[in-house]
Copies of this chain bind each other. A is one copy, B any other.
């Protein structure tokens, strides 16, 4: 063919806009316009050496004049590299995952990659597999899985093809070759919360946990356990709940009821670490209704620092997670994995970002202890 000659003749005389309606300019059009070969144009747009400054300028001018942009599909086809990363999230719009998503997307774009988003509604094996196929069809070069629930990780891990690195955002997973793990250090966060309470002089800290099929929940339990052990406290079980305020409230009521029953073993604890802010809110409400003072009688630490936590009654001491940083970390791991793969290595790595404690007004020394001259007696209450 073709009428490319005509096209370019038009382009030379008419405005670029006029042509755009006809067809987007190709490398070839630019080449004709600049009086060079398409390969030279390719060299210019890819910033390759061995092009004279003069030619480079002329080509650049032609590019600008025609409003040329490289065709991504053609490039992908020719290079067999899609420049695309898959981002898979489970369909639960909690704030953390959402923020992580945005962090991932932003970091990916900074790295010059496209991001393909896929939502998997239920954490079933089938849904996960379908999603991975969806990504495979796009020839994504890496996948980020934001998977708060354990099952989904298992499937992702199993289905991950060896050639495509996967970063999973999930605390507590072990990295494997080609399978990276990024997470907020939930153990640290939980330890921070627990330590804060212990340092205030509390004899013990109770933990109200989220559902135990969530990684984050399990890790927070670990962190709490470890910190208590470090202070020489005996083993004890957490109170298992879910993430809702209703559950927090229910547990608060139960605690109050047991304490009222008079059994000293079941006395109302002086310090509670809740696995998220909603739980803390439910506890707060239960205690408020019962006239139990926070933090006078019992101290509470939450987790997440949700919007508004600073205006709970009282403002909540909690743990804040650096989600954007987490997103960035995901991409870093992925890119590292990709280039390592290209170099023939198959590394395994994990990375954690550190949460921070935000002290507000739900924590104070226990009723009868005096933290300045710290000296906790064996007895409690």
A residues near B (Cβ < 8 Å) are: 69-74, 76-77, 82, 87, 89, 91, 93-95, 98-99, 101-102, 105-106, 109, 114-119, 121, 133-134, 136-139, 243-246, 248-249, 277-278, 281-282, 284-285, 288, 306-308, 310-313, 323
Contact = CB atoms under 8 A, between A and B. Distances in A.
A69 B70 CA distance: 26
23 contacts: A69-B136, A70-B137, A72-B139, A73-B74, A73-B76, A73-B82, A73-B139, A74-B77, A77-B77, A93-B98, A114-B116, A114-B134, A115-B116, A115-B118, A116-B116, A245-B307, A245-B311, A249-B311, A278-B307, A281-B311, A282-B308, A285-B311, A285-B312
Nearest to A69: B137
A284 B284 CA distance: 15
Given A109-B134, A245-B308, A285-B311, A91 B98 contact: no
Given A106-B119, A106-B121, A139-B73, A310 B246 contact: yes
Of A71, A73, A89, A138, the most chain B CB neighbours within 10 A belong to A73
Contacts of A116: 114-117
A93 B99 contact: yes
Given A95-B93, A98-B98, A102-B93, A245 B310 contact: yes
Could you tell me the dominant secondary structure of chain A's interface residues? helix
A278 B308 contact: yes
Given A72-B137, A72-B138, A245-B307, 14 more contacts: A69-B133, A69-B137, A73-B76, A93-B99, A95-B98, A105-B117, A114-B134, A116-B117, A245-B308, A249-B311, A277-B308, A285-B313, A306-B306, A306-B308
A192 to B, nearest CB: 22
A72 B80 CA distance: 11
A313 B277 CA distance: 15
A277 to B, nearest CB: 7
A248 to B, nearest CB: 7
Contacts of A99: 93
